[in-house]
Amino acid sequence: MAVLEILAAAAALTLLLYYYMTSTADFFAKRDIPHLPQTPLVGSSLDALLSRRFRGQVWREWYDHAKAHGHKFYGVFVGRRPTLFVCDVDMVKTILVKDFQHVMDRGTYYDRKREPLSANLFNIGGGEWKALRSKLTPTFTSGKMKSMFYLVRACTDELERYLGAEVLKGGDVEMAEVMGKFSTDVIASCAFGVEANALKDPDSEFRSMGRKVVEVDPLRAIVNMVAETMPWLRPLLPMPLLRPDVKDFFIRTFNENVEYRERQKVARHDFIDLLIQLKNDKTAGLEDAVLPAQAFVFYLAGFETSSAATSTCLVELAHHPDIQERLRDEVDRVLAKHGGITYEALHDMTYMEQCIEETMRLYPALAGLPRVVTRDYQLPGESPRAVLPAGTRVIIPTYAIHCDPEFYPDPMRFDPERFTEENKRSRPHYAYLPFGEGPRICIGLRFAMMQMKTSLAMILSSYRVFPSPKSVYPARFEPKTFVTKLKGGNRLKITKR
Ligand code: HEM
């Protein structure tokens, strides 16, 4: 009898689970939105759900398929969760800018109480995001960038010493790691006010904490997958977003530096100074706990993205010696004009900008821009039934758009000519989204460009880069990371000029 009862209970539970997991299957059909079918538990792609393949590539296949059928949108399922996929650049603009009020947030998970560092500008939403964004925006003006330039420049000197020593050892370097150390030094200096010494010291605590932040162990991968498909379940899971040692390290480092500066009345004109000003501005109405979270997101959003773009750009330059020489000529000319690497000199490096832009086209830091509907949203120009309820996930597939031959003929070819002013004007503005777009565009864009250009100018003026026998080219993407990363790193051979 007991066995029968257990079997009956198990069957009822399985049925309930099955019902729950498939209860969204008609979500798009009910709204007259073209879509992929839902496989129970899996959604539209097991590869995407389990991160077995680079999600940018899976999205590219969906995008190409939907576009070939003339769809502006496409419904897909991540597990049971309906997700609207945008496949038309005019619609991209509508969603990111015109109808921003309906699709304002990213829907990424945060928990203010248990995880104060997660309540940062990237994750928070609604009115709270709006207020914080407007307070932080003045921190990133070009005037502020100029006053921080000396800190970036100092880290570049250290990078030059580091690479010089590597050349003496044979010059076979893992560029992703070197640039990771460099941007750790830069952001630690500007956002936390400390010398991380990631380039000088192989055991730098800041660097190892940075590695731990982005590490995805198998348990965390499962928790992330649950959060993706059933966001309501995430707060009930005991696993913290950040390991406790990492969380304590960043909060302690930030607070110690704020105290030190206030006591000693030191000013460095960096992000932390600007955050202290906000803290002391009683009209800003910010709680003290909000500030370390912002320094943390500058670090997190800044260090891997900038370092990956710079090292990948160097990989492309190594495989395109003609482009590398042309860029070196520009660097030589501009540095001779300005008497070295100055803030003003960076603005004259237009071909360098083209090379960076083309790198970020082929290797965007985020394969897609996540958004979530914040207010019920009638899809413009569609059936009156095409109303997305608040909470629906939306994805703008950056990588797929960047690889669309309509905008970029022969899309897999690295060609900085695509980014001359004339060529940029010849295609839709929203066909290029490496920093996102609209009111939630990357706030650190100027800082990132300053940092990338400064380091590239130094490297090209002092060194030459070549493919390493160990390098894999064309490079492939790691499937599991949130910020795109190349499989096997970015190995290069570097020689003194
Ligand atoms: C090459 C370097 C970088 C790339 C490619 C990059 C890319 C991005 C992208 C794609 C977004 C999402 C935009 C959207 O959803 O529309 C974003 C947001 C953000 N980025 Fe960056 N980023 C870089 C560097 C930085 C740096 C250096 C910082 C800070 C110092 C930073 C801070 C942020 C923040 C705070 C957000 C959230 C903005 C908001 O929601 O208001 N990023 N970034």
Please indicate, yes or no, if residue 88 is contained in any of the structural domains. yes
Tens-digit pLDDT profile for residues 359-371: 999 999 999 999 9
Ligand 1: centre distance to CA 435 (Å): 6
The better pLDDT of the pair 470, 385 is held by: 385
Query: What 3-state class would DSSP assign to 348?
Result: coil
pLDDT-based confidence at 274, cuts 50/70/90? confident
Ligand 1: centre distance to CA 137 (Å): 12
Ligand 1 binding pocket mutation candidate from 442, 446, 450, 485 (most atoms within 8 A of CB)? 442
Nearest to 211 by CA among 314, 311, 299: 299
The DSSP element (H or E) to which 152 belongs, if any, is helix 142-168
Ligand 1: centre distance to CA 30 (Å): 36
**Where are the strands (E) in 283-436, listed by range?**
369-372, 377-378, 387-388, 393-396
Amino acid at 354: Q
Tens-digit pLDDT profile for residues 398-456: 999 999 999 999 999 999 999 999 999 999 999 999 999 999 999 999 999 999 999 99
The better pLDDT of the pair 111, 495 is held by: 495
* Lining residues, ligand 1, CB within 6 Å: 121-122, 133, 297-298, 301-302, 305-306, 309, 360, 365-366, 369, 434-437, 440-444, 447-448
pLDDT at residue 494, rounded to an integer:
96
Query: Atom 7 of ligand 1 has which residue's CA nearest to it?
Result: 435
Query: Atom 40 of ligand 1 has which residue's CA nearest to it?
Result: 122
Ligand 1: centre distance to CA 445 (Å): 7
Ligand 1: centre distance to CA 223 (Å): 24
Q: How far is CA 15 from CA 2, 18, 22, 23, 380, in A?
A: 20, 5, 11, 12, 38
pLDDT-based confidence at 479, cuts 50/70/90? confident
Ligand 1 binding pocket mutation candidate from 108, 187, 435 (most atoms within 8 A of CB)? 435
Please indicate, yes or no, if residue 380 is contained in any of the structural domains. yes
Please indicate, yes or no, if residue 422 is contained in any of the structural domains. yes
Please indicate, yes or no, if residue 182 is contained in any of the structural domains. no
What are 389's two structure tokens? 């309820």
Residue 111 pairs with which residues in a beta bridge?
115
Instruction: Yes or no: say if 309 and 182 are a contact pair by the CB < 8 Å rule.
Output: no
Total domains in the fold of the chain: 1
Please indicate, yes or no, if residue 84 is contained in any of the structural domains. yes
DSSP secondary structure code for residue 369 in this structure: E
Q: What angle do CA 76, 107, 127 make, to 5 degrees?
A: 140
Please indicate, yes or no, if residue 396 is contained in any of the structural domains. yes
pLDDT at residue 238, rounded to an integer:
80
Average pLDDT over residues 294-323: 94
Query: Atom 6 of ligand 1 has which residue's CA nearest to it?
Result: 435
Please indicate, yes or no, if residue 64 is contained in any of the structural domains. yes
pLDDT at residue 422, rounded to an integer:
97
Please indicate, yes or no, if residue 98 is contained in any of the structural domains. yes
**What is the model's pTM?**
0.94
According to the annotation, is 87 in a ligand binding site? no
Least confident of 122-126, 131-135, 280-284, 375-379: 280-284
| Exposed / middle / buried, residue 473 (Cβ in 10 Å: 0-12, 13-18, 19+) | middle
Question: Which residue range is the domain that position 93 belongs to?
Answer: 1-115+373-433
pLDDT at residue 212, rounded to an integer:
85
| Exposed / middle / buried, residue 236 (Cβ in 10 Å: 0-12, 13-18, 19+) | exposed
| pLDDT at 286 > cutoff 80 | no
Full strand arrangement of the beta sheet holding 172-174: 172-174, 491-496, 463-467
Query: Atom 9 of ligand 1 has which residue's CA nearest to it?
Result: 435
Q: d(Cα 340, Cα 331) in Å, to the nearest integer?
A: 10
pLDDT at residue 1, rounded to an integer:
60
Question: Which atom from ligand 1 is nearest to the alpha carbon of 438?
Answer: 16
| pLDDT at 458 > cutoff 80 | yes
Non-local CB neighbours of 1 within 8 Å, separated by 6+ positions: none
pLDDT at residue 227, rounded to an integer:
78
Instruction: Yes or no: say if 128 and 457 are a contact pair by the CB < 8 Å rule.
Output: no
pLDDT at residue 474, rounded to an integer:
86
pLDDT at residue 287, rounded to an integer:
76
pLDDT-based confidence at 2, cuts 50/70/90? confident
Backbone angles phi, psi at 385, to 5 degrees: -85, -10
Q: d(Cα 456, Cα 73) in Å, to the nearest integer?
A: 39
| pLDDT at 127 > cutoff 80 | yes
Chain position carrying tokens 């590597």: 166
| pLDDT at 182 > cutoff 80 | yes
Q: Tell me what percent of the residues of the chain surpass a pLDDT of 90.
A: 66
Query: Atom 41 of ligand 1 has which residue's CA nearest to it?
Result: 440
Query: What 3-state class would DSSP assign to 292?
Result: helix
